[in-house]
Structure 1
Amino acid sequence: MSASAQRQDHPRLASAVSYLDELIGFDTTSANSNLDIIAYLKRYFDELGMETTVLYDTSGEKANLIARIGPKDVPGIVLSGHTDVVPANPDRWSSAPFDMEQRGSRLYGRGSCDMKGFAACVMAAAPALIQGPLKRPFYFCFSHDEEVGCLGAPAIAKHLAELEVPPGLAIIGEPSEMHLINGQKGKIAMQVTVRGEGGHSSFSPQHVNAVEYASRIIAMISDRSRRYEREGPFDHDFSVPHATALATLINGGVATNVTPDTCEFVFELRSIDQQAAWVDMQALIDEVEATLLPEMRQVSSAAGIEWQERFSYPAMDDATGSELFQRLEPILPPRGGKVSYGSEGGVFEIDGGIPSVIIGPGSIRQAHKPDEFIEIDQLTQCLEFFDTLGDWMTRG
């Protein structure tokens, strides 16, 4: 039997695949409530005898779940994943996005790798993980609204921080192909509203064209991004070793013969150092306003540029110097550097004081795409890691 075939014979693999099928069946696109999947997970962990806590958001339509097992008087380990997924347009998929389909060695479905595959492995491994006797506690955490700005994780992090003995390490199950990731960029998403003065386009020299000025701001953002690429600062452990900035959404204008009086767009700044990111953001705002506002207001005193933060989340620092990481290091997967995509690791660090790393099944290159999939062998590798981790937790 080949090594690959042997790997797929893990005794809990069938359970992980079955749980993944059920998890994908919940349409937890961020615009929707996630209460059904939280209730499903809570029932499962309740039946295992774990202590469960549900943290609702202010609307009551979204919730986080924390399931704990093990002693309370020593630092434990968090296994954390988010329940929400990005939208899926069925017309662009080869199969129904919220019905798991197996094709060869791949399992297709929205959230299969980002990141319900990790949650399915946690569910499949949980009965063995909690058999004990555990020397340290496990905290299984499942959040809402990670995909739209890590909105749910702060409540989890703060809850854990208020425990008599908080956890000593968080393992975030974002897709990392089961490599250890010890750094992640932060992000600021900013909405810009350019207000000009419109009218019939035949009189355009007498107007302030909001779309035109928005395009000039976007060009300045692009210039700044190219400067990061040339000048840094650099950290070559990252997959993209410098900060990046780009516009991602835009809307403006009402007709082909009307000078636009309003244009809105969104741009992001992904940074290695979140504190420096806010300094850079303010420098960009100052540069744009100093350059463009005088021109705009020569034509119309009512013209202006409005800046509104849509969301931000912090970078995840290097947790390899923390006490629990160093004790765990001999059993952890090989290091895979640092990543440019976002995770809740920085939130656990900033809001909870909990050092964090990323270890999860699947490839980030498959996330957020039509026909998202996870390789079955990635689930097997995750289950094998949980076997090793569970054994360590009975000795550690």
Structure 2
Amino acid sequence: MVEDILAKLVAFPSVVGTPNAAIVGWIADYCRSHGARVEILPGPEGDRANLFATIGPADARGYVLSGHTDVVPASEAGWTADPFTLRAEGERLYGRGTTDMKGYLACALAALPGLARRDLKHPVHLAFSYDEEAGCRGVPHMIAELPKLCAAPLGVLVGEPSGLQAVLAHKGKAAARMEVFGRSGHSSRPDQGRNAIHAMAEVLSSAIAHARALEAGPFDTRFEPAYSSLQIGTISGGRALNVIPDHCVAEIELRAIAGQSPRALLEPVRAALEALKTQGFETRWDELSAYPALALSPESDLAALMTDLTKLTPQPAVSYGTEAGLFQDAGMDAIICGPGDIARAHRPDEFITRGELQACLALIEALGNRLAA
């Protein structure tokens, strides 16, 4: 059953940043057919929605199984078959999103009928978001609605691929697009124009210096690297070699260790951009994404529960980011634990194994057993 559900989910080309009514509608119908209470929560974009479903008593505290319906594009070279058709080869099931993270969604949905047949004393909630791959853009809107949807959760299990070993911490992230607007002209008369690339270079030099300063600490040895980091990811500008460029765009990202604010660490770069206005340039700063770090105590009840269910000591930290930090920032204990290997994500011929799906399904069923006891 779980493979059939995964095949259906993979067949929806729910690429990040695109409408997702088809996949959300199918999941909603499936959940309702098994007795779940379902809320579809449209986002401000108007063509995308989060989904929240509940099995069990509405007034009791329970656990949230959190995942995202979107996937990264599958346009990269190297796919040996249609990425949106599930393909089985032995133990491996290939397709875009199999590991990140429709495999987890399929396990949660496959477990739902069994959960519905149990006399749960505490509910299980499914929280499926959109545009996670664009920097967790969808889930904040769902988190804002949670007080109306359920009692305060006992914990949130974010099913990003971790080999079903729980993860206690991850870095936070903030990303921004910077634009500089100058004045065009012939390159032989630079005195009559304002070179936007030259101006952006000043900002980027400041950003590079800031990145080097971050390498001096503070440190958190749970992470690799152990310090907060900044990188310039893209830059573009100019139309021809003999034309003074009147526009330049650059994108930067900041990944912060726990205890540091990603947005705050980007402020020196934003200040450098703003300073260009004193030279006659116009500037623009657009935040692309931002989410806080996750730092769950190894002594927490949620960490103890996951240690017991997985029979594995939780991994202290990973350097990639998830929605877990946003749930924690909203006052809920959150942990990462999902099937598959993050190294397979965002790559051609992404796959998950049948064994990994069955192990995840067993984990969710074991959680259900606890909640029915």
Q: What TM-score do you get using the length of structure 1 for normalisation?
A: 0.87
Distance 2:17 2:149 in 1: 31
Structure 1 letter corresponding to 2:309: I
More off after superposition, 179-188 vs 197-206: 197-206
What amino acid is the match of 1:309? E
Partner of 1:232: 217
**Residue 185 of structure 1 contacts residue 272 of structure 1 at CA under 8 Å; is this kept in 2?**
yes
- The aligned residue for residue 232 of structure 2 is 247
Determine whether 1:383 maps to 2:361.
yes
> CA 1:170–1:211 in 2, change beyond 3 Å: closer, same or farther?
same
Structure 1 unaligned blocks of 5 or more: 1-14
Aligned to 1:9: none
Corresponding residue number in structure 2 for 1:199: 185
How far apart are 1:42 and its partner, in Å?
Answer: 0.8
Q: Are 2:17 and 2:134, in contact at CA under 8 Å, matched by a contact in 1?
A: no
Q: Spell out, residue by residue over 1:186-216, the C-alpha distance to the aligned partner (whole angstroms, 9 max, x if none).
A: 1111111122232112334654322233234
2:105 paired with 1:119: yes
Note the alpha carbon deviations across 1:258-302, whole angstroms, 9 max, x for none.
121110111111112465333322233335666x666xx2xxxx2
The structure 2 residue matched to 1:153, chosen from 115, 139, 163, is 139
- Judging changes above 3 Å, is the alpha-carbon distance between structure 1 residues 128 and 78 closer, same or farther for their aligned structure 2 residues? same
Structure 1 CA distance, aligned partners of 2:345 and 2:58? 36
Native 8 Å contact 1:196 1:210 kept in 2: yes
8 Å contact 1:195–1:303 — kept in the other structure?
yes
Distance 1:283 1:90 in 2: 35
Pair 1:283–1:325, CA change in 2 (3 A): same
Identity of aligned residues (%): 37
Give the alignment partner of residue 344 of structure 1, picking from 323, 343, 350: 323
The one-character-per-residue Cα deviations of 1:341-374 (angstroms, maximum 9, x if unpaired) are 22111222223x2110000111112212222222
Q: What CA distance in whole angstroms lies between the structure 1 residues aligned with 2:8 and 2:21?
A: 15
The one-letter code matched in structure 2 to 1:94 is T
Q: Which residue is 1:57 aligned to?
A: 43
Matched, 1:41 2:27: yes
Asked if the contact 1:189–1:269 (Cα under 8 Å) also holds between the matched residues in 2, the reply is yes
| Deviation of the 1:385 alpha carbon | 1.5
Task: From 282, 285, 308, give the equivalent of 1:307.
Answer: 285
Distance 1:120 1:65 in 2: 14
Which residue in the other structure is 2:256 paired with? 271
Q: How far off its partner does 1:224 sit?
A: 2.5
- SS at the partner of 1:140? strand
- CA shift digits 1:134-168 (9 cap, x unpaired): 12110011111111121221222222234562211
**In the comparison of the two structures, how many residue pairs are matched?**
372
SS of the equivalent of 1:147 reads helix
Partner residue in 2 for 1:6: none
Aligned to 1:31: 17
CA drift of 1:109 comes to: 1.4
Task: Calculate the TM-score normalised by the size of structure 2.
Answer: 0.92
Instruction: Tell me if structure 2 keeps the 8 A contact 1:220–1:288.
Output: no
Deviation, 1:325, is: 4.5
